[in-house]
Amino acid sequence: MSDILIRANNLSVHFPLRGLGFGERPVVRAVEGINIEIEKGSFFGLVGESGSGKTTLGRAMLKAAPITHGEVIYSDGEVQYSLADLQKDELKDYRTRAQLIFQDPYAALSPRMTVRDIIAEPLEVMKLTSSREETDARVREIAALCRLNLEHLRRFPHAFSGGQRQRISIARALVSGPRFIVADESVAALDVSIQADVLNLLNKIQRDSGITFLFISHDLSVIAHTCDFVAVMYLGQIVESAPTRKLFAETSHPYTKALLSAIPSLDPDVRGNAQKLEGEIPSPINPPPGCRFNTRCPHAQERCRSEIPEWRELSAGHHVACHFAEELS
Amino acid sequence: MTKPLISVENLTLSFKTDEGLVTAVNNVSFEIAPGEVLGLVGESGSGKSVTAKALMMLNAENSVYSDTSKITLNVDDRDHDVLSLRHPAEQKIVRGGAISMIFQEPMASFAPAITIGEQMVEQLMIHSEMTRTEARDVSVEMLTRVGIPEPAQRFGQYAFEFSGGMRQRAMIAMALSTRPRLLIADEPTTALDVTIQAQVLDLMKDLVEEFHMSILFITHDLGVIAQTADRVAVMYLGNLVETGTVRQVINSPAHPYTRGLLNSLPKLDDLEAPLTPVPGDIPSPLDRPSGCVFHTRCVESGDIAERCRTEIPITTIGADNHRVDCHLASKGKPA
């Protein structure tokens, strides 16, 4: 079991809302009772619709969202942390080991800093280098890895296109030498021709440096092409997870099936045979009882409306939370 | 052959800016037949939205149309020269009369402090002779038709009370209530989740048949195009580089840029296929490349690279009006 880099045990993240002054305060149950394990050196994909809690889960694993229940254990061989009760200096150290790449490369970079300063900032804040020469050397090394040249380092972010900006964000995330990177919708804002380039770069970094990625996306086809392992999220819970190939070959959960069939096919001769999902994702303040997917599931039965489906292993590495997974797969 | 509903000829459109005249659309020509869905594909900055807005005269004050530009709208056997419409009363026909538009971000397109119903009634009363009560009935009927539950109650609500998918449905209801001949849909499903996108696309397909209207469908998503369009036009840096039927363009693309777009797309039925990006970035419209606009990123030019750099390619027309602007195609090289 030593090859698990980060694992969540029964993790919940709740955000209390302002109440009306009487009765119980409403709570947004953004993440509810999640168990996942991310293997060292893997490219782990997390897919789900907006409001499914994927960003919150990613942030909880970076200790950037409050952990309400359960625990997140990080263990890279050198240190082992339980994120729920990190000490101040442990948190500082964890920040060098775990990093985040954001979705919007236009909002994530300060317009008043040169690219060199943007990439150097984590080194300076975390005091990882002792001299300006050392900082510059490290910045140049990382910039080269992300295909940014010396000329680029002197400019400001406005001079760059979306793809180049995203490579700057990636360089900034890499500069502290992290073991774990959460990439939250990192290609969603890019054009397809550029998106492929950034995906290839992330895959190359993972292969060459062994960094573990949690790749969050709403796009199942992007996940399918880049990740080794996929977890599908719906309304704060993981409904199915498996190695990528297995997930696509032996899709078991009706939600995963619906997501797959909703992706518009590139073949003009295959039209309109998608399995349509009715309705919309319910509110996480008041999730449906039983299986959270029962309000939209085409196979829902009485049992689904009352009994919470167990998170169980269908076959090696393939987990699902559905009462009828065997019959449906 | 029936007369096209709208025909765009040699549309060239620039914007006056501090840095000089920026050409956003360059010599673009296309037609849309009645009942036809034309998909307009391209990356950000390719000029898709500016082209669409030109059809409704919605581009900003600083836009300059070239003298050769001509847009003809044919409604009830009458030709309207769109670019010569100056007076707001004349422009009504392209602004909600015969042409309606739905936008990417429905939250930004509805007025936040006026109920959805009031906005629907307002535009119906502008474009028809209806009384307020009639307009209200038509609006509620349209909300029902696009699948909004409890339409009479929803009619009195504000945009923020609708979810993303419902807002887009309401927007479609509003755009279609005046029974336009042409619907311009600018990235209508880009902000939606895939399961909701599938619902909205289905709805649009049903409505095209029911209302027998044409759609100019703008998107960067080739999958959405493959599922909805009859014909496809591919734009790059203000130029139309390829037009053809959806099967021609998706199954046997003739322009290297179209091929590049398709190769960079992750495909679900072939997980092993490598993702091949189109090298480099789209050039700035302030600094348009000479010759073929795509030559700075083209990987196929090979031994005719010099020609691509200096000479503007002419349009080659193949079977079923499959048009492509590329020197390789004009050489007769198989796609």
3-state secondary structure chain A: CCCEEEEEEEEEEEEECCCCCCCCCCEEEEEEEEEEEEECCCEEEEECCCCCCHHHHHHHCCCCCCCCEEEEEEECCCCEEEHHHCCHHHHHHHHHHEEEECCCCCCCCCCCCCHHHHHHHHHHHCCCCCCHHHHHHHHHHHHHHCCCCHHHHCCCHHHCCHHHHHHHHHHHHHCCCCCEEEEECCCCCCCHHHHHHHHHHHHHHHHHHCCEEEEEECCHHHHHHHCCEEEEEECCEEEEEEEHHHHHHCCCCHHHHHHHHHCCCCCCCCCCCCCCCCCCCCCCCCCCCCCCCCCCCCCCCHHHHHCCCCCEEEECCEEECCCCHHHHC
- Quick check: A238 pLDDT over 90? yes
* Rounded CA separation A242/B100 (Å): 45
pTM: 0.88
Give contacts of A195 with chain B, Cβ < 8 Å: 264, 277
pLDDT band at residue A274, thresholds of 50, 70 and 90?
low
Encoded amino acid at B107, one letter: M
- Quick check: B117 pLDDT over 60? yes
Q: What is the mean pLDDT of residues A298-320?
A: 92
- Quick check: B280 pLDDT over 90? no
Instruction: Test B197 with A200 for CB contact under 8 angstroms.
Output: no
Q: Minimal Cα–Cα distance from A136 to chain B, Å?
A: 26
Q: What is the mean pLDDT of residues A66-86?
A: 93
**Per-residue pLDDT reduced to its tens digit, B38-68:** 999 998 889 999 999 999 988 888 999 999 9
User: Can you give the pLDDT at residue A1?
Assistant: 43
Contact between A290 and A218 (Cβ < 8 Å):
no
Q: What is the mean pLDDT of residues A58-73?
A: 94
Contact between A108 and A102 (Cβ < 8 Å):
yes
Q: What backbone torsions phi and psi does residue A262 show, to the nearest 5 degrees?
A: -80, -15
Instruction: Test B277 with A259 for CB contact under 8 angstroms.
Output: no
Instruction: Test B223 with A264 for CB contact under 8 angstroms.
Output: yes
**Per-residue pLDDT reduced to its tens digit, B237-263:** 999 999 999 999 999 999 999 999 999
Q: What is the mean pLDDT of residues A288-309?
A: 92
Q: How high is the mean pLDDT of chain A? A: 91
Contact between B236 and B294 (Cβ < 8 Å):
yes
Contacts of A171 (CB under 8 A, 6+ apart): A119, A142, A143, A145, A146, A148
Q: What is the mean pLDDT of residues B12-29?
A: 92
Q: A327 burial class (0-12, 13-18, 19+ CB within 10 angstroms)?
A: exposed
- Return the structure tokens found at A37: 């394990």
Least CB-CB distance to A192: which of B227, B250, B261?
Answer: B261
Q: Does B264 touch chain A (CB under 8 A)?
A: yes
Give contacts of B222 with chain A, Cβ < 8 Å: 192, 266
Q: Minimal Cα–Cα distance from A310 to chain B, Å?
A: 25
Size of interface A-B (CB pairs under 8 A): 124
Q: What is the mean pLDDT of residues A29-52?
A: 93
User: Can you give the pLDDT at residue A275?
Assistant: 67
User: Can you give the pLDDT at residue B335?
Assistant: 41
* Rounded CA separation A234/A218 (Å): 11
* Cα–Cα distance list, B191 to A150, A188, A297, B144, B200 (Å): 37, 11, 23, 23, 12
pLDDT band at residue A172, thresholds of 50, 70 and 90?
very high
- Quick check: A108 pLDDT over 80? yes
User: Can you give the pLDDT at residue B86?
Assistant: 84
Q: How high is the mean pLDDT of chain B? A: 90
- Quick check: B209 pLDDT over 80? yes
User: Can you give the pLDDT at residue B331?
Assistant: 65
Q: What is the mean pLDDT of residues B228-234?
A: 95
Least confident of A8-22, A162-176, B72-86: A8-22
- Quick check: B126 pLDDT over 50? yes
Instruction: Test B198 with A164 for CB contact under 8 angstroms.
Output: no
Instruction: Calculate what percentage of chain B has a pLDDT beyond 90.
Output: 59
